[in-house]
Amino acid sequence: MLITGGAGFIGTNLADRLLSDGQPVLVFDNLSRAGVGENLAWLRERHGAHMEVQVADVRDALLLRRAVRRACRVFHLAAQVAVNTSLSDPIQDFEVNARGTLNLLEAIRTVPEPPPLLYTSTSKIYGALSGVELDGRDGRYLPKDELLRATGLAENHPLDFHSPYGCSKGAADQYVIDYARMYQLPAVVFRLGSVYGPHQRGTEDQGWVTHFLTRALRSEPITIYGDGRQVRDVLHVDDLVEAMCRAQVRLARVAGRAFNVGGGVANAISLRDLLELIRRFHGGTSEVRFGPWRLAEQRYYVADIAAFSEAAGWRPRITVEDGVRRLHEHLREAVGERRGPARTAHVPVLAAARS
Contacting positions for ligand NAD (CB under 6 A): 4-5, 7-11, 29-33, 36, 57-59, 77-81, 96, 100, 120, 122, 169, 192, 194-195, 207
C-alpha distances out from residue 152 to 37, 300, 316, 319, Å:
36, 9, 15, 17
For ligand NAD, the closer CB: 89 or 133? 89
For ligand NAD, the closer CB: 140 or 236? 236
Give the count of beta carbons closer than 10 Å to the beta carbon of residue 40.
Answer: 24
Count the residues in the chain: 355
- Smallest gap from Cβ 289 to ligand NAD, in A, equals 23
For ligand NAD, the closer CB: 195 or 231? 195
Strands (E) in 158-307, as ranges, are 187-192, 194-196, 222-225, 231-236, 258-261, 268-270, 288-291, 300-301
Q: Which of 119, 126, 141, 165 is catalytic?
A: 165
Angstrom distance (rounded) from CA 41 to CA 45: 6
Instruction: Tell me the pairing of strands 142-143 and 194-196.
Output: unpaired
- Smallest gap from Cβ 351 to ligand NAD, in A, equals 15
Contact at 8 Å (CB) between 83 and 124?
A: yes
For ligand NAD, the closer CB: 81 or 134? 81
For ligand NAD, the closer CB: 34 or 252? 34
- Smallest gap from Cβ 309 to ligand NAD, in A, equals 19
Angstrom distance (rounded) from CA 118 to CA 75: 5
Contact at 8 Å (CB) between 185 and 114?
A: yes
The 8-class DSSP code of residue 153 comes to B
Query: What are the residues whose beta carbons fall under 8 Å from the beta carbon of 115, sequence distance 6 or more?
Result: 2, 68, 71, 72, 73, 74, 108, 186
- Smallest gap from Cβ 39 to ligand NAD, in A, equals 7
For ligand NAD, the closer CB: 31 or 108? 31
Contact at 8 Å (CB) between 124 and 171?
A: no
301 is a catalytic site residue: no
- Smallest gap from Cβ 43 to ligand NAD, in A, equals 12
Contact at 8 Å (CB) between 237 and 272?
A: no
- Smallest gap from Cβ 29 to ligand NAD, in A, equals 4
Of residues 34, 33, 77, 81, the one with CA closest to residue 58: 77
Strands (E) in 58-125, as ranges, are 74-76, 117-122
- The catalytic site residues sit at 165
